[in-house]
Amino acid sequence: MDWGIQNRLAGILRPQTGRCVMLAIDHGYFQGPTTGLERPGEVVAPLLPYADALMLTRGVLRACIDPACRTPIVLRVSGGTSVLKDDLSDEDLTVSIEDAIRLNASCVTLSIFVGSAHEKTTLTNLAKLCDEGQRHGIPVLAVTAVGKDMVRDARYLGLACRIAAELGAHVVKTYYCDGFEKIVNGCPVPIVIAGGKKIEERDALKLAYNAVSSGAVGVDMGRNIFQSQWPVEMIRAVRAIVQDKLTDAQAWEQFQQETKGRAAARPTGRRPSDVGCGMADVNRSDTPLPTSHFRHPP
Ligand code: 5RP
């Protein structure tokens, strides 16, 4: 691997542990002002000291993040769809490599949609991005997006992760599932897991612990941190599992100690109108802007 790619990866996967707590706030690229992320700059500022990397779009980076920020940037460079369409797989590359370099990105990231209508385009997007990344010494993180009718099992996710690695991704992001070790075993590059839709803090900590215990090198977590009523304490607990190797029970104990008697930073937890982020999540019935409103105008 080229020195530049290794050097940038070492900024994301902490060299002392080989692990990473990545904070994902790119959700707006297809779902707009996601609950908890309406004002990304304010949400992220207190969380950054506990994040090894920040995953976001160039628009939010330029508009909301202090350029003095030293946290490595994982720049989302795919998009072109919104929650108003049935098929979210129709993505293109949306950022040139020159702009990624201008933004001092440590890594570029895109989604692949294995098994979808646009499988081929998203996979060739990945291959092209890996060529560009290789040319400029920038690593590529491939996100295995999951369609609404697809099962998030080890067979499917293992297939998607392996294809991402075969096409040149340096890191893969996927979902945790039963038999996760099989996915790790079949994927020759490091894997981080997405948190998925908001669940109870105790359960999210268990998810993070199970993932790293099964071979993930860390998390790329969004909603289970920024939609928590205690986002700072939550990212600290996740970090304790990933970087300090605490068990989920120990991290939960820490979370409880740190939140005891403290007012919540957010007034409520997840609301019924909140939408998800993975393709499977955004097609849930509580998505606030059903496509039919727009396909069949009055
Ligand atoms: C969307 C993404 C998100 O960054 C990803 O889903 C992580 O966030 P969360 O933990 O909220 O699932 O890649 O495609």
pLDDT of residue 229: 96
| Ligand 1 pocket residue status of 37, Cβ below 6 Å | no
Q: What is the mean pLDDT of residues 173-200?
A: 97
Rounded to two decimals, what is the model's pTM? 0.91
Per-residue pLDDT tens for 134-148? 999 999 999 999 987
How many Cα neighbours within 13 Å face the side chain of 174? 38
How many Cα neighbours within 13 Å face the side chain of 252? 13
pLDDT above 70 coverage of the chain, percent: 89
Taking alpha carbons only, the member of 98, 100, 95 closest to residue 72 is: 100
Q: Is the pLDDT of residue 151 over 90?
A: no
Cβ contacts of residue 1 below 8 Å, gap of 6+? 9, 170
Cα(256)–Cα(207) distance, integer angstroms: 17
Q: Which atom of ligand 1 is nearest to the CA of 55?
A: 4
| Ligand 1 pocket residue status of 28, Cβ below 6 Å | no
Q: What is the mean pLDDT of residues 165-172?
A: 98
Cα–Cα distances in angstroms (integers) from residue 107 to residues 8, 141, 162, 195, in the given order: 7, 7, 19, 20
Q: Which atom of ligand 1 is nearest to the CA of 25?
A: 4
Residue 150 banded pLDDT, cuts 50, 70, 90: confident
In the beta sheet, which residues pair with residue 24?
55
Separation of CA 230 from chain center: 19
Q: How many Å lie between the centroid of ligand 1 and the Cα of residue 277?
A: 6
Cα–Cα distances in angstroms (integers) from residue 199 to residues 24, 165, 183, in the given order: 16, 29, 23
Q: How many Å lie between the centroid of ligand 1 and the Cα of residue 297?
A: 31
| Ligand 1 pocket residue status of 24, Cβ below 6 Å | yes
Per-residue pLDDT tens for 205-218? 999 999 999 999 99
Q: Where are the domains of the chain?
A: 3-295
- Write down the CATH number for the domain with range 3-295: 3.20.20.70
Cα(258)–Cα(279) distance, integer angstroms: 34
Per-residue pLDDT tens for 259-287? 997 778 776 544 433 444 444 454 333 34
Q: Is the pLDDT of residue 226 over 80?
A: yes
Q: What is the 3-class SS of 82-151, one letter each residue?
A: CCCCCCCCCCEECCCHHHHHHCCCCEEEEEECCCCCCHHHHHHHHHHHHHHHHHHCCCEEEEECCCCCCC
In the beta sheet, which residues pair with residue 111?
143
| Ligand 1 pocket residue status of 194, Cβ below 6 Å | yes
3-state DSSP assignment of residue 194: strand
Q: For residue 210, count CB atoms less than 10 angstroms from its CB and return exposed for 0-12, middle for 13-18, buried for 19 or more.
A: middle
Active site residues: 173
How many Cα neighbours within 13 Å face the side chain of 220? 31
Top pLDDT among 276 and 56 is at 56
Q: Is the pLDDT of residue 200 over 50?
A: yes
